[in-house]
């Protein structure tokens, strides 16, 4: 991934936030037919291994787990908030007319090694963790849990999936958030994004480049 130096994201806490806020990643493998991507939700444990571990599961019918092997190099892509930026949002544009449209965004590419985990204990743990995380976000008064369903029903579903892990070796991340613009233009973009309900990108801009109050 091409990363201009002034857009490189190196803050671990921000990289972890992006993954946690946008866990539906694209797992890219180089299989027998060439590059292929599987889109699945991941659980990230930054404290496991040298650089963290991603965990997920795929359908047993998905050929990814039979056509890949332990140790294969893979990449998982997470897309954070993004937004179109109009030149009209820059105060300087109205003075000098030297601005053009652009796009602000945050992207994380996780590089690592694949491990196939075809065992029931691992699968139940991954499903339970994913369920707890996303039921909490769903804000239901009584969050769903695996014990709410009949045991044999859950057993059949667990048997129909296969677990995967990605042992993280390197993370590349970009936060293109108008860092190359003067302060008044950045402030103009933040204000315009908030009017349009794009709070995540506006807040990320403030955290990355705007002066603290």
Q: Copy the structure tokens of residue 35.
A: 């590059």
Q: pLDDT per residue over 115-139, tens digit each?
A: 999 999 999 999 999 999 999 999 8
Q: Where are the domains of the chain?
A: 5-79+104-179
Q: pLDDT per residue over 19-52, tens digit each?
A: 999 999 999 999 998 999 999 999 999 999 889 9
Q: Do 99 and 180 form a contact (C-beta atoms < 8 A)?
A: no
The hierarchical CATH code for the domain 5-79+104-179 is 2.30.110.10
At residue 40, the pLDDT reads 98
111: number of Cβ within 10 Å: 16
For residues 61, 63, 67, 68, the Cα torsion angle rounded to the nearest 10 degrees is -90
Q: pLDDT per residue over 171-183, tens digit each?
A: 999 999 999 999 9
Q: Copy the structure tokens of residue 101.
A: 């449209």
Burial of 49 per CB tally in 10 Å (0-12, 13-18, 19+)? middle
At residue 213, the pLDDT reads 44
């Amino acid at each position: 991934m091409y990363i201009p130096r002034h857009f490189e994201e190196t803050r671990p806490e921000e990289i972890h936030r992006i993954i946690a806020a946008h866990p539906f990643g694209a797992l890219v493998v180089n299989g027998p037919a060439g590059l292929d991507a599987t889109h699945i939700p991941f659980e990230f444990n930054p404290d496991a291994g040298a650089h963290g571990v991603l965990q997920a599961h795929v359908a047993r019918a998905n050929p990814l787990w039979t056509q890949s092997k332990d140790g294969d190099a893979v990449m998982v892509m997470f897309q954070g908030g993004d937004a179109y930026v109009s030149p009209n949002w820059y105060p300087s544009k109205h003075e000098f007319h030297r601005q053009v449209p652009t796009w602000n965004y945050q992207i994380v590419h996780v590089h690592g090694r694949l491990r196939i985990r075809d065992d029931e204990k691992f699968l139940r743990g991954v499903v339970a963790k994913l369920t707890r995380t996303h039921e909490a976000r769903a804000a239901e008064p009584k969050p769903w849990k695996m014990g709410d369903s009949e045991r044999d029903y859950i057993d059949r579903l667990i048997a129909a999936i296969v677990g995967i892990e990605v042992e993280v070796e390197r993370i590349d991340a970009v936060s293109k958030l108008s860092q190359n613009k003067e302060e008044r233009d950045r402030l103009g973009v933040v204000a315009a994004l908030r009017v349009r309900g794009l709070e995540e990108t506006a807040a990320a801009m403030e955290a990355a480049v705007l002066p603290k109050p």
